[in-house]
């Protein structure tokens, strides 16, 4: 019986070793292949960072992984020790100890200290993500059912819709369920403020680009703010990650970061391509129309911040 147990343990150990070696080999292959800023089959870990925010998120994640691993190993060690040392065969008469001031003090204070150590970098990062440093440009993102619209308020209100490319229309290099007809284009190296909202008749969406570390809810009637600075030119993909209805999986996000001079060229072309037949709405006319609708009188006097 003892021999049987021992041989089972040995074969289990061999199996565990083989799994570990395979896992490490898989990670090495993935690392060697390099990750694009889109999800990869069998990918482990996060997408490579495209922005300073994501670099910090990644670092924070790695730090927490160390903390959580140490805690897990420590607790597992304690459990195993207790199971072996105080097994009824070794310890037939259990102690009746019920209080130990020193241990109770330690197991209260040490977790508090660990939480403080985690909270300090966490708050620093939250404030770093929240504050939009002097933005070079602003982009307004609107969630529709089920596609995104992008607007460049600094560029004469340049505005266009971004729709999924259907599977039958995919060209070589396109990615199924991620490529779109009109990606959002931004200059690499520029700080971009993103304002995210949803159409009034719509539902809540979420503008999420994993490699940017940006996830912002698109809520009808609210304007949420975030920012990103894409360091290298390239195409970065994301998806709506707020379950929003039947076509939730069909409203991907593609952001193309281009060199500054190429961005100027793209802007000129885009302004022609997306020029609308009707001129931009005259603000005075829009205000008057809003006033007509505002009955009972005074309903429109709500300060914008309270809406």
Min dist CB 274 to Cu ion, Å, is 22
Q: Which is nearer to Cu ion, 150 or 263 (CB)?
A: 150
Choice between 187 and 238, CB closer to Cu ion = 238
Identify which of residues 207 and 236 has a Cβ nearer to Cu ion in the complex. Answer: 207
Of the two residues 158 and 240, which places its CB atom closer to Cu ion in the complex?
Answer: 240
Contact 231, 51 (CB under 8 A): yes
Q: Which stretch binds Cu ion (CB under 5 A): 58-66, 94-102, 180-188, 237-245?
A: 237-245
Q: Give the nearest distance from C-beta 204 to Cu ion in angstroms.
A: 8
Residue 158 binds Cu ion, judged by CB under 5 A = no
Shortest separation between residue 162's beta carbon and Cu ion, angstroms: 12
Nearer to Cu ion, 54 or 205 (CB): 205
Please tell me whether residue 229 binds Cu ion under the rule CB under 5 A: no
Tell me the three state secondary structure of residue 191. Answer: strand
For Cu ion, the closer CB: 9 or 249: 249
Task: Output the CA–CA distances (angstroms, integers) from residue 63 to 51, 59, 245, in the order listed.
Answer: 19, 6, 36
Find the shortest distance in angstroms from Cβ 144 to Cu ion: 9
Whether the link from the prior residue into 296 is cis, omega within 30° of 0, is yes
Shortest reach from residue 255's CB to Cu ion, in Å:
16
Span of 59-67, 169-177, 233-241, 275-283 interacting with Cu ion by CB under 5 A = 233-241
Query: What are residue 218's DSSP bridge partners?
Result: 205
What is the CB-side half-sphere exposure of residue 72 using CA atoms within 13 A? 6
| Count, residues in the chain | 307
Q: Which H or E run includes 6? A: helix 2-33
Q: For 46-110, give the DSSP string.
A: PPPP-SHHHHHHHHHHHHHHHHHHHHHHHHHHHHHHHHHHT-TTT-SS-------HHHHHHHHHH
| Shortest distance (Å) from residue 179 CB to Cu ion | 17
Q: Decide: is 240 part of the binding site for Cu ion (CB under 5 A).
A: yes
Minimum separation from the CB atom of position 247 to Cu ion (A) = 8
Angle at 137 between CA 136 and CA 143, to 5 degrees: 145
Which residue in the set 158, 165, 192, 244 belongs to the binding site for Cu ion (CB under 5 A)?
244
Q: DSSP secondary-structure letter at 235? A: E
Helices (runs of H) and strands (runs of E) counted in the chain = 5, 10
Part of the chain binding Cu ion (CB under 5 A), chosen from 75-83, 189-197, 243-251, 275-283: 243-251
Q: Smallest distance, Å, CB 244 to Cu ion?
A: 3
Measured in whole angstroms, the distance separating CA 250 from the mean position of its chain's CA atoms is 18
* Cα distance between residue 89 and residue 277, in whole Å: 87
**Site mask, Cu ion, residues 179-218, x = CB under 5 A?**
--------------------------x-------------
Interface residue list for Cu ion (CB under 5 A) = 205, 240, 244
């Amino acid at each position: 019986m003892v021999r049987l147990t021992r041989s089972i343990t040995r074969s289990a150990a061999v199996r565990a070793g083989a799994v570990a070696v395979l896992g490490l080999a898989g990670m090495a292959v993935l690392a060697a292949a390099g990750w694009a800023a889109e999800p990869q089959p069998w990918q482990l870990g996060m997408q490579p960072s495209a922005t300073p925010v994501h670099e910090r998120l990644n670092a924070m994640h790695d730090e927490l992984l160390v903390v959580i691993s140490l805690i897990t190993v420590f607790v597992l060690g304690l459990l195993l020790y207790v199971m072996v040392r105080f097994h009824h065969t070794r310890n037939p008469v259990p102690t009746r100890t019920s209080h130990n001031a020193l241990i109770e003090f330690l197991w209260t204070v040490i977790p508090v200290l660990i939480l403080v150590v985690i909270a300090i970098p966490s708050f620093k990062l939250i404030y770093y993500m929240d504050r939009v440093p002097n933005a070079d440009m602003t982009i307004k993102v609107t969630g529709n059912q089920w596609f995104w619209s992008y607007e460049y308020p600094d560029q004469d209100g340049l505005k266009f819709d971004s729709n999924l490319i259907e599977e039958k229309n995919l060209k070589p290099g396109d990615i199924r369920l991620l490529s779109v007809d009109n990606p959002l284009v931004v200059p690499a190296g520029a700080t971009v403020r993103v304002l995210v909202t949803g159409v009034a008749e719509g539902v809540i969406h979420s503008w999420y680009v994993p490699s940017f570390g940006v996830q912002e809810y698109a809520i009808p009637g609210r304007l949420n703010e975030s920012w990103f600075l894409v360091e290298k030119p390239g195409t970065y993909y994301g998806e709506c990650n707020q379950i929003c209805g039947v076509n939730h999986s069909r409203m991907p996000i593609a952001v193309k970061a281009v060199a500054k001079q190429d961005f100027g060229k793209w802007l000129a072309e885009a302004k022609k391509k997306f020029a609308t037949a009707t001129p931009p709405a005259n603000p005075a006319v829009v205000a008057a129309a809003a006033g007509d609708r505002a009955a009972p009188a005074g309903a429109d006097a709500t300060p914008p911040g309270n809406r």
